[in-house]
C-alpha cells in the first residue's frame, strides 16, 4: 500500500516515472479516459480548499472514475468526535483512494496507518502540500524540458510558505539548480532550509529586492506577502512594492523566464502580467490536474 | 465561445432551435443519454440555490456527463480573496462548461470575459436568471403549442421579481402576447418595463385584484408577495388575499388556463390547487431540466 | 411505489430476499457494477451525517449510477421556507430515488406521500434509521449464517438509542433470539419495548454490568453512554467503566462472539479491541454499503 504524505515520499526515479506519465496524459488525455472506470475517489476536506479539491475531482473524473466526500469539517462526522483513524477505516469501505485535507499537521499520516486504501495528503496545516509540489515540478519540467541546470527565484513570504519549503527540498535533488531567495528579512526561509542547502552544497543567495535579480532568473516562483506578517507597518509600506510583479519588472527578465504561483493570487502579480506569454500560473493549474491523474493511477497500481 | 448571461442573448430563431431540441429531449431522453460522455459541468454557486443547482446537475448527468463544484461561497476560494476572473481561469482547467450563481450583479459576465469554457448565468443578484426564463418559455410553449397569441397574467411582486422582468422582455418578441400585470400599487413593474411595453406596442393592463381578470387569462404566472415589501401593515392585511391562488379563484379561470410559478412557493398558491390539472408548476420543474440539457448541448456545440 | 420509512416496512420474507441479494452483491460486486447505469440518487440531508450519506453514495456509484443532493440544510431551499412536500416533488424531476435525513420525526413519511420516486428514510430525528437496522441484520446474518437461535447483548444507552429499539423490533421476528439488555438503570429500554418483548414471549434479561454477562453472548451490540444522560455525576463516575469494552472484558467472551457498533464510537470500545478478530464494527460498515445497494435495486424494481 503506497501513500503520498510528503513530497519526498517518491524517489527521484519514481518521480520521473510519475512526471513522464503526467506528460503522456497531457498529450493523450483520451487514452486514459476510462483508466479508472468503476473506481471511487473520496475527497475528505476537513477545511475548505476549492481549488485543490476540484483539481482532484477533475483528475478522477477525467480518468472515468467517480467522486464522493465532504468539503468542510462541519458537514462531516468529525463534529461528532470521531477520530481520523476511525473515519479512514470507514472511508476504506466506500472508496478506492482518498485525498485528505486537514488543519492539523500529521493527520493524513495518522490516517494512512489505519487505511486500507491509498491516502494522498492534500495539505495538512502549515506542514506539507505534496501535490502542489508535484504540480510545480511538472510545470518547470514541461516549460524547461528538464529539472536540471536552472536558476529559480522564490519570492514573497518564504518563512511561512509551505509550498516554497517543499519545492526547495524537492529541487535540491536535481543537478545544478540555483536558488535566489527574495523576501523581506522578517520573512526569510527558516534556518533549517538554509542548513539543508549548505549541507547539499547547493548554490543560493538571499536578497530583499526582486527587481535586482530578475535578469538572472529562469523561473520565478511568486507567493503572497501578507500585511499581517510584518512586525511594523512602516516596514510593510516601504517594501510591499518590492514583491509585486508588474510589467516593468517583467521587462527586466529573460525572454524564456517563466512565472509560477501556487494561487490564489491577490495582488502580488498585477493582472497586466497575465497576458505575458511567460506568465505560466494558469498553465500550472492545468498541469496540476494531469499530475494528480498520474498520481491516482500510480497509487492505484494502474500506471503500467 | 458562446455564453448565456442574459435571456436575450439568444435570438428568437436560436431560441426556437433550443426549445425544439429541448422538446426532442423530453420525447426521447434515451437518445441523449451519452451525448456528454466525458464532459464535466462545474456548478459554481457563490450563494446556495438547491433547486437551480440540482436542475443543472440532473441535466448534465442525464446527458452522461459529470459534475463538480461548490454549493456556497464559504466552502470556496472566494473567502481567500480570489477574484472571479482568476477563479474562472482555474475552473476552465477543470471543466468543459460552468453554471455560476453569484450574489453580485454582473459577476458571470466578468467571468465570461476571461473564461475558456462557456459560462451560464445561474442567477446574479436581483439581475438576471436566464435559465428560469428559458424554463418558463419552454413550459408555455409545451402547454400551449406556441409562444404567440395568448394572454398572460403576471401576479404578485412585479417590482423586485427578476423572473417576471425577464419573462416580459422575452415574450414581447413574440406575436400578439397580451400582459395583465396584477400587483399592489407598491409592487408594480418598474417604469422601464412599462416603457418597453409601450415602445413595442404591446397590449397590457395593470390591475390590483387577481380575481377580476382570471377569466381572461391563458397563462397565470404567480410569484410571492413578501410582507416586508409593504410600506404599511394595514395595506398588507387588506390585500394579501388578493394574491393567494385558491380553488375559488381557479373556478373563475378558463379550462385550459395554466398556472406557472418559479418556486419555491410559500403560501401564494394554496396546496388545494396542486391537484388541479391546470397547475403546471411541478411540470415546469421537469421542463427546466430538459431546457438546461438543451442549453448545455448548444453551448458545447453538441446540438447538431 | 415502494418506500423504506420504517425497518418493519419489509416482511421477514422480503427482508430475506433483500439480504440474499446483498450477500450476492458482496460475493460478486462486479456483476452489479452497471445495474443502475443512467439512474440518479438524490441525497437530501437536512442535517449532516457523513457516514450515512457517503454509504448511500458509494452504494449508488458501485451500481453504476450517479448522485446529486445536499449535505446540510443551510445549503438547501429549506432555508427559503419550502415544505418537504414541495421539495420532494421537485426532486422527483431530478432523480430516480432519494435518501432523506431530517431532524424532524416523520419528515420522510410526509415526503413519501407526495413523491413520484422511492424515498428511503436515512434517519429522522430520534425516530427511525432503517438502513442502520438493515446493516445490523445483514452483519449478524453474515457472521452467524442465520438470524435465528442466538443471544444478543445490547449495551449502553438503551433509552435514547434509536438503533437499539429498531434492532430489537426487527429481531423479535426471528426464532429463539434472546436479549440481554445491559445499561444503567437510568438508561434502560423504554417500557413499550419491554411490553413488546413480553407480548411476543421473547426471552430477555436486564442487567447493569457488561462483565457479568459476557460469556453468554453470541453478539454484543455496543452503543455510547453519554455523560450528559446521567442525572448525577457520582453515578456516572461509578458506572462509566462498566460500559467500556476492553481486552479484559473480551477475554471473558466466547471465541465466536462478535462485537457490533453503529459508529461513530468515541471511547466505549477501546482501540485495543480493534485488532481482535471478533471486532466486527468496521466489517459492519462494509455490509452497510452492500445492503444499501440491495435496497436501491429492490426499490427501483431492478432486483429480479
Residue B234 cell numbers, joined? 394595514
Catalytic annotation, residues of B: 51-52, 80, 101, 129
The answer for residues whose C-beta is within 8 angstroms of residue A156's C-beta and 6 or more apart is A164, A182, A183, A187, A222, A223, A224, A225, A243, A268
Contact C69/B55, CB-based, under 8 Å?
A: no
Helix (H, G, I), strand (E, B) or coil at A151: strand
Contact A95/C58, CB-based, under 8 Å?
A: yes
Does the pLDDT value for residue C81 go beyond 80? no
Q: Would you call B68 an interface residue with chain C, using a CB distance cutoff of 8 Å?
A: no
Least confident of A19-28, A148-157, B170-179, C259-268: C259-268
User: A44 to chain C: which residues are within 8 Å by CB?
Assistant: none
Chain B interface mutation, best of C67, C80, C83, highest count of B Cβ atoms under 10 Å:
C80
Say if residue C285 is exposed, middle or buried (CB neighbours under 10 Å; 0-12, 13-18, 19+): buried
Question: In A130-141, which positions are buried (b, 16+ CB within 10 angstroms) versus exposed (e)?
Answer: bbbbbbbbbbbb
What spatial distance separates the first Cα and last Cα of chain C, rounded to whole Å?
A: 16
Does the pLDDT value for residue C237 go beyond 90? no
User: What's the pLDDT score for residue C292?
Assistant: 98
Residue of A nearest to B46 (CA): A50
| B240-246 mean pLDDT | 89
- Which of C33, C57, C71 is the closest to A38 by Cβ? C33
Would you give the DSSP letter of residue A221? E
A101 is known as an active-site residue: yes
Neighbours of chain A (3+ CB pairs under 8 A): B, C
User: What's the pLDDT score for residue B241?
Assistant: 82
pLDDT band at A25 (very low <50, low <70, confident <90, very high): very high
Contact B282/C89, CB-based, under 8 Å?
A: yes
Contact B77/A51, CB-based, under 8 Å?
A: yes
Residue for grid cell 432523506? C100
Options A3, A40, A53, A101, the catalytic residue = A101
Contact B282/C93, CB-based, under 8 Å?
A: yes
Residue of A nearest to C29 (CA): A38
Options A52, A131, A135, A139, the catalytic residue = A52
Mean pLDDT of all residues in chain C? 94
Options C23, C51, C209, C265, the catalytic residue = C51
Q: Would you call A85 an interface residue with chain C, using a CB distance cutoff of 8 Å?
A: yes
Chain A interface mutation, best of B68, B89, B97, highest count of A Cβ atoms under 10 Å:
B68
pLDDT band at B79 (very low <50, low <70, confident <90, very high): low
Calculate how close chain A gets to B282, using CA atoms only, in Å.
29
What's C131-284's CATH class? Answer: alpha beta
Q: Which residue has the higher pLDDT, A276 or B238?
A: A276
For residue A150, give Cα distances in angstroms to A145, A166, A183, A249, B50.
11, 18, 20, 20, 50
Q: Would you call B168 an interface residue with chain A, using a CB distance cutoff of 8 Å?
A: no
Sheet (strand A177-182) strand order:
A204-207, A177-182, A150-155, A219-222, A258-260
Contact A82/C265, CB-based, under 8 Å?
A: yes
Q: Would you call B268 an interface residue with chain C, using a CB distance cutoff of 8 Å?
A: no
In chain B, the percentage of residues whose pLDDT exceeds 70 is 98
- Which of A66, A75, A76 is the closest to C61 by Cβ? A66
d(CA A9, CA A109): 12
User: B39 to chain A: which residues are within 8 Å by CB?
Assistant: none
Q: Would you call B302 an interface residue with chain C, using a CB distance cutoff of 8 Å?
A: no
pLDDT band at B80 (very low <50, low <70, confident <90, very high): low
d(CA C12, CA C174): 8
- Between positions 207 and 266 of A, the ones with CB within 8 A of C are none
Least confident of A18-27, A278-287, C15-24, C74-83: C74-83
Q: Would you call B64 an interface residue with chain A, using a CB distance cutoff of 8 Å?
A: no
Would you give the DSSP letter of residue C81? T
Contact A90/C48, CB-based, under 8 Å?
A: no
pLDDT band at B231 (very low <50, low <70, confident <90, very high): confident
Does the pLDDT value for residue B75 go beyond 60? no
pLDDT tens digits, A75-96: 555 566 789 999 999 999 999 9
Does the pLDDT value for residue C42 go beyond 60? yes
| A150-154 mean pLDDT | 98
Sign of CA dihedral A71, A73, A74, A78: positive
Question: Is residue C264 part of an annotated ligand binding site?
Answer: yes
User: A69 to chain C: which residues are within 8 Å by CB?
Assistant: 54
Calculate how close chain A gets to B37, using CA atoms only, in Å.
10
User: What's the pLDDT score for residue C195?
Assistant: 97
User: C282 to chain A: which residues are within 8 Å by CB?
Assistant: 89-90, 92-93
d(CA B157, CA B152): 15
| B164-173 mean pLDDT | 96
Residue of B168, B217, B218 whose CA lies nearest to B190: B168
C80 is known as an active-site residue: yes
User: What's the pLDDT score for residue C80?
Assistant: 66
What does CATH list as the number for C7-128+288-299?
3.40.50.1370
Question: Is residue A129 part of an annotated ligand binding site?
Answer: yes
Does the pLDDT value for residue B76 go beyond 90? no
pLDDT tens digits, B19-70: 999 999 999 999 999 999 999 999 999 999 999 999 999 999 999 999 999 9
Does the pLDDT value for residue C78 go beyond 70? no
Options A23, A51, A240, A283, the catalytic residue = A51
Residue of C nearest to A66 (CA): C61
- Which of B68, B80, B89 is the closest to A54 by Cβ? B68
pLDDT tens digits, A128-137: 899 999 999 9
pLDDT band at C229 (very low <50, low <70, confident <90, very high): confident
- Between positions 29 and 58 of C, the ones with CB within 8 A of A are 33, 48-51, 54-55, 57-58
User: What's the pLDDT score for residue B63?
Assistant: 98
Does the pLDDT value for residue B230 go beyond 80? no
Chain C interface mutation, best of B33, B45, B48, highest count of C Cβ atoms under 10 Å:
B48
Helix (H, G, I), strand (E, B) or coil at A38: coil
pLDDT tens digits, A91-120: 999 999 999 999 999 999 999 999 999 999
* Domain span(s) for CATH 3.40.50.1370 in chain B: 7-128+288-299, 131-284
C51 is known as an active-site residue: yes
Amino acid at each position: 500500500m503506497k501513500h503520498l504524505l510528503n513530497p519526498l515520499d517518491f524517489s527521484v526515479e519514481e518521480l520521473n516515472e510519475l512526471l513522464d506519465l503526467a506528460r503522456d496524459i497531457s498529450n493523450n488525455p483520451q487514452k486514459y479516459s476510462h483508466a479508472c472506470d468503476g473506481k471511487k475517489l473520496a475527497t475528505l476536506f476537513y477545511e475548505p480548499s476549492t481549488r485543490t479539491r476540484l483539481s482532484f475531482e477533475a483528475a478522477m473524473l477525467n480518468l472515468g472514475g467517480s467522486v464522493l466526500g465532504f468539503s468542510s469539517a462541519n458537514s462531516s462526522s468529525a463534529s461528532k468526535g470521531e477520530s481520523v483513524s476511525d473515519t479512514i477505516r470507514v472511508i476504506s469501505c466506500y472508496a478506492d483512494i482518498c485525498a485528505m485535507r486537514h488543519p492539523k499537521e500529521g493527520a493524513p499520516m495518522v490516517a494512512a496507518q489505519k487505511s486500507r486504501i491509498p491516502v494522498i495528503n492534500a495539505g495538512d496545516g502549515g506542514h506539507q502540500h505534496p501535490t502542489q509540489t508535484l504540480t510545480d515540478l511538472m510545470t518547470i519540467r514541461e516549460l524547461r524540458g528538464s529539472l536540471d541546470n536552472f536558476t529559480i527565484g522564490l519570492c514573497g513570504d518564504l518563512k511561512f510558505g509551505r509550498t516554497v519549503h517543499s519545492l526547495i527540498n524537492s529541487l535540491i535533488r536535481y543537478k545544478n539548480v540555483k536558488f535566489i531567495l527574495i523576501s523581506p528579512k522578517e520573512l526569510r526561509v527558516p534556518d533549517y532550509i538554509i542548513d539543508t542547502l549548505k549541507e547539499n552544497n547547493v548554490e543560493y543567495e538571499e536578497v530583499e529586492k526582486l527587481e535586482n535579480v530578475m535578469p538572472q532568473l529562469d523561473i520565478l516562483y511568486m507567493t503572497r506577502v501578507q500585511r499581517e506578517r510584518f512586525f511594523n507597518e512602516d516596514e510593510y509600506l516601504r517594501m510591499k512594492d518590492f514583491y509585486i510583479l508588474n510589467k516593468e519588472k517583467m521587462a527586466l527578465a529573460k525572454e524564456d523566464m517563466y512565472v509560477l504561483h501556487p494561487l490564489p493570487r491577490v495582488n502580488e502579480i498585477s493582472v497586466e502580467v497575465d497576458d505575458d506569454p511567460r506568465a505560466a500560473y494558469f498553465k500550472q493549474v492545468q498541469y496540476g490536474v494531469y499530475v494528480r491523474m498520474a498520481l491516482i493511477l500510480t497509487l492505484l497500481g494502474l500506471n503500467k
